[in-house]
Chain A
Amino acid sequence: MLAVFFLAPFGFMLATSFYRRIEGGFYEPAFVFGSWQRLAHGVFIERTLFSIGICLLAGAVCIAVAFPFTYFLTRMRRRPHVILLVLIMSALALSEVIVGFAWSVLLGRAAGISNILVWLGAMDEAQAYQPSFVAVLLGLCYIAFPYCILTLYPQLTRLDPEVTEAAQTMGASPWRTFWTVVVPIGRPIIMAGFLLVFVFTLGSYLIPAFLGRPEHWTLSVFISDQATFNANVPFAAAMALFLTVLSLGVVALVMWTESRTRRAF
């Protein structure tokens, strides 16, 4: 009974993707491949590749920053440790809207970084850094960052500090210790964090919509646009299902390669 509850929307979506689109934004039950055929179009494929690309990049950036950061965090004294955690959790509680808005201001021409630089005399004229690719990337990283830290945190607190001390007594500088001991031990959670960010950013709608030009939009934006403004629900449904398969596919692929390399290790 409960399974039905969860699967019903999916079932409906699957069915709808085969429906035919009628004028006026409605759709009627039918069995047409039209929507699915459009998936093979260049534009759609381009969007897909872009989405995957930017989300993988966001994943890489987030992990690259979050892992060392969380590692240092777990070694800190009580006071700064807790303060930082409060800060991170607060950032987590922000909605995507607010984050998107805040970054659009920060990178904008009216009251953002460039304005500060102009005020300080480092720049002549204020510039808008958004909408742009970098803006979208930064926004995505920002919303994913707290979640990333939260997945890394529990395991990193369990890392026995004597292990890194042991490495040091054997001649490894703190830098080398980090790369030869901490990172290898952290591989599973690094992978988990990376995947988390990927899946999470793939689902982001407001950030790409806000901070990017149409060429920077991800599939999520595309889909919701089709469903609402273009009123082409069947097409949106088809894309949504494709996105589902895609997400699961990439996750499975990455996990598979991870287990292969693990064995060789």
Chain B
Amino acid sequence: MKRFGDVVAVAGVDLELPAGKLISFLGPSGCGKTTLLRMIAGLERPTEGRVFLDDEDITDRPPHLRDIGMVFQTLALFPHLSVAGNIGYGMRIRGVGRGDMRTRVEELLQLVSLEGLGERRISQLSGGQRQRVATARALALEPRLFLLDEPLSALDANLREQLQVELRLLQQKLGITTIMVTHDQREAMTMSDLVVVIRLGEVEQVGAPLDVYRRPATPFVASFIGRTNILRGEASDGLVRIAGQTFDVDGAVTPGAVTVSVRPEDAHLLVGEVPERNALSGRVVFVRDLGELFECYVDCGLEEHVVVAGSPRERVHVEQGERVTVSFPREACVVVRG
């Protein structure tokens, strides 16, 4: 379990993270997620606030005295050591005996599917193999905390997806508390038990991936994770009016400005003008038929085009310029902060 305070690039973060889970720090570049991770690792000092590991205050402890294993963005493998040498480095520092070290290295090589490659030099390995070496190296001493800083960003798309699954399975198998920094929301969704969405140094939302997806707390979270339609309107007398239409929404509403998020796949397309609640009429601007899914961009008079998405089965036949009505079911209209 981990808890921490704040620093200049990261402000007012107060998080408590559960043990044994994979937690992602998700956010755009420069939002402070890496800084946060480095503070946990001890590579940066918080200007204010403390870091606790299992109720121990480790804020003043240097990195080599914290019980962590870390995989860096550049992987930071030692070029002067072989694969086995890299993995065994931590043990060597601790004075573990030759025999024990060798056994453990073999174990780890097996764990990451790199059997027999112990004597290879780093320069001889492929990107995916290097990633695995970095992972094995970090886990060699069975640390309490496993930290990953954008570990897959240097790999190409196919490899990334494969390794995402592998890493997640590995983490589950070992049951080790893991914190991963990423800017790729699909990666976070794939691997995490818990997602911490960070923007400009502040935490916007913490929750399980699907919760964060279905119930985004802010417009930023809504649009950063997946795609969404942001509808702005006014609330008064318990009713919400958006672009002149009455809406029933899911969530408590206070009088004043209201922002609602609706995922494209939850919206429905109806031909012609259909007067209903929770609906906006407009003109079709663009249709994208990608085979596996289709998207329809509709100009409803709002700031941005409304997007309706769906699988081919749901495809309603419309053409550019046609007048249609977009229906937003009540359960899909999520009120977001701001």
Contacts and interface: CB of A to CB of B under 8 A. Distances in A.
- Do A and B pair up? The answer is yes
Interface of A: 160, 162-163, 165-174, 176-177, 180-181, 184-185, 187, 265
B93 interface: yes
- From A163, A165, A171, A176, name the one whose CB has the most chain B CB atoms within 10 angstroms: A171
Chain B contact patch, size range: 20 to 34
Interface stretch (B14-22, B65-73, B105-113, B178-186): B65-73
A171 B76 contact: no
Contact of A165 (B63, B66, B77, B92): B63
A171 B80 contact: no
B70 A169 contact: yes
24 contacts: A162-B73, A162-B74, A165-B41, A165-B63, A165-B76, A166-B78, A168-B42, A168-B43, A169-B43, A169-B64, A169-B68, A170-B64, A170-B93, A170-B140, A171-B94, A171-B141, A172-B64, A172-B89, A172-B93, A173-B64, A180-B92, A185-B78, A185-B79, A265-B80
A185 B70 contact: no
Interface string B42-62: 110000000000000000001
A173 B94 CA distance: 11
Nearest to B134: A166
Nearest to A163: B76
Q: Report whether over half of chain A's contact residues are helix, strand or loop; otherwise say mixed.
A: helix
Contact of A160 (B65, B74, B93): B74
A104 to B, nearest CB: 43
B72 A171 contact: no
Interface of B: 41-43, 62-66, 68-70, 72-74, 76-81, 89-90, 92-94, 137-138, 140-141, 147
Contacts of A185: 78-80
B313 to A, nearest CB: 49
- From B72, B76, B77, name the one whose CB has the most chain A CB atoms within 10 angstroms: B76
A182 B69 CA distance: 20
Contacts of A170: 64, 69, 89-90, 93, 137-138, 140-141
A169 B138 contact: yes
Contacts of B64: 168-174, 177
A162 B41 CA distance: 12
Contacts of A162: 72-74, 76
Nearest to A159: B79
Contacts of B43: 165, 168-169
A160 B76 contact: yes
A28 to B, nearest CB: 58
Nearest to A185: B80
Contacts of B147: 169
Nearest to B69: A169
Nearest to B149: A162
B93 A168 contact: no
Closest 10 CB pairs of A and B: A170-B90, A162-B76, A166-B76, A169-B70, A162-B72, A184-B80, A168-B63, A163-B76, A168-B64, A172-B93
Nearest to B66: A169
Nearest to A181: B78
A69 to B, nearest CB: 21
A152 to B, nearest CB: 16
Contacts of B78: 163, 166-167, 181, 185
Given A169-B64, A170-B89, A187 B80 contact: yes
A262 to B, nearest CB: 10
